[in-house]
Amino acid sequence: MDNKEKNILMVHNYYQFAGGEDTVVANEKRMLEEHGHKVILYTRNNSELKTFSIIKKLLFPFSVLFNGKTYKDVRKIIKENHIDIVHVHNTLSLVSPSVYYAAGSCKVPVVQTVHNFRFLCPGATLYRNGHICEDCIHHGLWCAVLHGCYRKSRIQTLICVINTMVHRMTGVYKKINYICLTEFNREKLLQINKLRKKQLISPDRVFIKTNFVNDEYNGISTGENKDGFIFAGRLEKLKGIEYLLYAWKKMGSQAPRLFICGTGPMEKWCREYIRKNDLPSVIMKGFVPNGQLRKFIADSEALIMPTQCYEGLPMIIIEAYSVGAPVIGSDIGNVAGMIEEGITGYRFRHDDPDSLVKAVWNIRNGSLSRNGIRKLYENKYLPDINYDILMDIYDQISL
């Protein structure tokens, strides 16, 4: 079939708070439509849970396992619109894996973009109690129930585990196709087969396609790019905000300006730490809209990502590269994999503030080519490049 003739059903379950996955869905939908495809977006939103009656709330664990409304809706859309491909982004909680069965009953292939590690870890991050945790990979999903990894609730974690185990047993995961954002993510996903005699996911059904960002800010800043460093993200432990402030304390009076863009559960702690340790060079900016943030990064010395977890594929790093800004990032997971040491930025030991300080001085004393960083973006993260990769995947996927 000619690429121009594909009818695509894109499926996404919004969380109650907006996130990077939502941006990816919007970007891919627009990209496909700009290339002449018919794209129908089917969504559910977890904010629906607030309107549930008592009976619906009691039945909710079953709808997480299989949502009848989603199943009927998806089958109807497929039949009425002659859908060629069902492209799923997120199923938790109201879409549920029922979307896979609905597509299968209509004999339409499914591709699932894997944005996190939920197929392996009920908490989706492979992170627990301040460190990387792969217990569920090596010892089974019941480890998550023991620790209450999903929302710190053993009951809710148990629901997630039962959901995952049931659909592993039905074999539906082996019948769908997957898009991983990086080779690192692909390797992690395929570890789902580690404790099983039979494959749960076929390696030949797992593809790699990175995310992309539109070139909305026109190239590299023409300023001096000496306006301090930027942290942009949720203020919580797994994002490494503590280690970032520890590093700035160590630099004392020599510390450059640091702009913290974001909100989250540790915002109060951050403000108190800054006040108690007299860190005038650290400026809390709160929430900064994306368009403004990208220009802010363009005029900075570097973006800093001190994450303590593997991450999926941070869009903010791609956005930094799109404006030629270098990145200082942790030496773990996908952040480490996205940084070319001494070319696009510097890595530091994720739990060592001294190592982060050294990376900051490397940026200040070095001469990374912003044109070279921008070139990397043009060669890897532009929409047209991404489109060609996605079309190649669509042509290969099967029932």
**pLDDT at residue 323 tops 90:** yes
In tens, the pLDDT along 60-96 reads 888 999 999 999 999 999 999 999 999 999 999 999 9
- Sequence-distant (≥ 6) Cβ neighbours of residue 240 within 8 angstroms: 305, 306, 307, 308, 330, 350
- Domain range holding 241? 229-380
In tens, the pLDDT along 170-202 reads 999 999 999 999 999 999 999 999 877 789 999
- 234 and 311 in contact (C-beta within 8 Å)? no
Task: Taking the CA atoms of 148, 153, 156 and 159 in sequence, report the sign of the dihedral they define.
Answer: positive
Dist CA 81 CA 104 (whole Å): 16
The region of weakest confidence among 92-101, 109-118, 218-227, 260-269 is: 218-227
302 and 197 assigned to the same domain: no
The closest of 88, 30, 109, 84 to 384, measured between CA atoms, is 30
Mean pLDDT of 274-279: 98
- 7 and 83 in contact (C-beta within 8 Å)? yes
**pLDDT at residue 218 tops 70:** no
**pLDDT at residue 266 tops 70:** yes
**pLDDT at residue 165 tops 50:** yes
376 and 386 assigned to the same domain: no
Output the pLDDT for position 58. Answer: 86
Q: In what order do the strands lie in the sheet with 345-348?
A: 282-286, 258-261, 229-232, 302-305, 327-330, 345-348
306 and 185 assigned to the same domain: no
In tens, the pLDDT along 279-319 reads 999 999 999 998 899 999 999 999 999 999 999 999 999 99
* Count of Cβ atoms closer than 10 Å to residue 189 Cβ: 19
**pLDDT at residue 226 tops 80:** no
205 and 267 assigned to the same domain: no
Dist CA 40 CA 133 (whole Å): 37
| Locus of tokens 């306006």 | 227
- Sequence-distant (≥ 6) Cβ neighbours of residue 125 within 8 angstroms: 116, 117, 238, 309, 310
Within a domain: 221 = no
The pLDDT-based confidence of 1 (bands split at 50, 70, 90) is very low
267 and 125 assigned to the same domain: no
Q: What is the pTM of this model?
A: 0.92
Peptide bond into 253 cis (omega under 30): no
Give the domain CATH number at 336: 3.40.50.2000
Mean pLDDT, the chain, whole residue set: 94
**pLDDT at residue 32 tops 80:** yes
Q: In the chain, how many domains are there?
A: 2
118 and 57 assigned to the same domain: yes
Within a domain: 219 = no
136 and 31 assigned to the same domain: yes
Within a domain: 217 = no
Dist CA 98 CA 88 (whole Å): 11
The pLDDT-based confidence of 12 (bands split at 50, 70, 90) is very high
In tens, the pLDDT along 111-139 reads 999 999 999 999 999 999 999 999 999 99
- In three-state secondary structure terms, 386 is helix
19 and 143 assigned to the same domain: yes
- In three-state secondary structure terms, 278 is coil
Number of continuous H segments (helices) and E segments (strands) in the chain = 17, 14
